[in-house]
Structure 1
Amino acid sequence: MLSKEDERLLALLRTNARSSVSDLARLLDLSRSTVQTRIARLEQTGVIRGYVLDYGDSYTKSLVSAHVSIKVKQKLTVKTNNELKQIPQIAELYAISGEYDLIAVVQAQSTEQLSHLLDQIGDLDGVERTNSSVILETKFKR
């Protein structure tokens, strides 16, 4: 179970994972060594798996994003998931309940690229059908 300090540390790292240990210690009112120890423990226990690139607003606003619902032939689920994982424009892939089996979050640099990407997904062996919703505006993101 995470302590309140761990939760505060994670919140700060989520905001800026490149913050120095000194800055984190100052903001948390803890010693540098305590913060380093907490980060190491969170990494070792798998709470922190890694650090990722966070794109700037000017770049992400230029992308065309969509949610793509995907119906998969059940016997080809593993193969289809592996093929979807190889498409770099798919940022996230979720297994869901309901009529469709998966939702992919895709990001393209233009509507033309998005159209080709949707065709590529639809043409994969194991994909029965897709349904796409283009994201018009992000209200908030954490």
Structure 2
Amino acid sequence: MAVDELDTRILRLMIDQPRTSVREYARILGIARGTLQARIDRLERDGVITGTGPVLSPAALGHPVLAFVHIEVTQGHLDEVGDALAEVPEIVEAFSITGGGDLLTRVVARNNGHLEDVIQRLINLPGVVRTRTEMALRERVPHRMLPLVESVGRATRAAR
């Protein structure tokens, strides 16, 4: 789906000012509210906008420890292990991957002891062969989408 210059401006505004109303976005952008709403609806329908909820901090929720746990799975058991991972509240993301494992999870914990308990729970899941854990020390680039949005918008503009 092509994101044009107006889409880029809309997305930038929504990222920079997420609590602003659609009416105010339209005023800032100098476009009709109906035009803006149609654009937002299309971006949602096309899967560009996937949510509008708050971004939460695991650390502020009492889980300041972040680790990435690679999980090797017995052949043929990837789906069942993936379903079991969804039942572990400390797993905030999980991806099937290529390379040195089958799954990569992002795990949060209250402290190192709690992290060890979570890892032990993962090791004991049926179909899990082994795990490998890497601790995050400091976030260097926070989750962001605006640079990508702007890059896509520039590429679309250049293609014209």
- Name the TM tier (shorter chain): 0.7 to 0.9
Seen in structure 2, the aligned counterparts of structure 1 residues 89 and 22 have a Cα distance that, compared at 3 Å, is same
- Per-residue deviation, residues 64-106 of structure 1 (Å, max 9, x unmatched): 1101011111121110010011212111111211121111001
**1:33 and 2:34 are equivalent in the alignment:** yes
Higher relative contact order (CA 8 A, sep 6+): 2
State the partner residue of 1:82.
83
Higher mean C-alpha deviation, range 66-75 or range 17-26:
17-26
Seen in structure 2, the aligned counterparts of structure 1 residues 53 and 41 have a Cα distance that, compared at 3 Å, is same
Question: 1:60 Cα shift?
Answer: 6.9
Q: In structure 1, what residue type is equivalent to 2:96?
A: A
Question: 1:40 Cα shift?
Answer: 1.4
Q: Secondary structure at the match of 1:66?
A: strand
Question: 1:129 Cα shift?
Answer: 0.5
Equivalent pair of 2:67/2:107 in contact (CA under 8 Å) = yes
2:17 and 2:91 mapped to 1: Cα distance? 24
- Per-residue deviation, residues 20-77 of structure 1 (Å, max 9, x unmatched): 1133223433232221111112222332233233025961796111010111111211
Identical amino acids, percent of aligned pairs: 32
Instruction: Quote the RMSD (CA, aligned, Å).
Output: 2.2
State the 4+ residue runs in structure 1 displaced beyond 6 angstroms.
Answer: none
State the partner residue of 2:158.
none
TM-score by length of 2: 0.78
State the partner residue of 1:101.
102
Question: 1:114 Cα shift?
Answer: 1.2
State the partner residue of 1:13.
14
How many residue pairs are counted as aligned between the two chains?
A: 142
State the partner residue of 1:119.
120
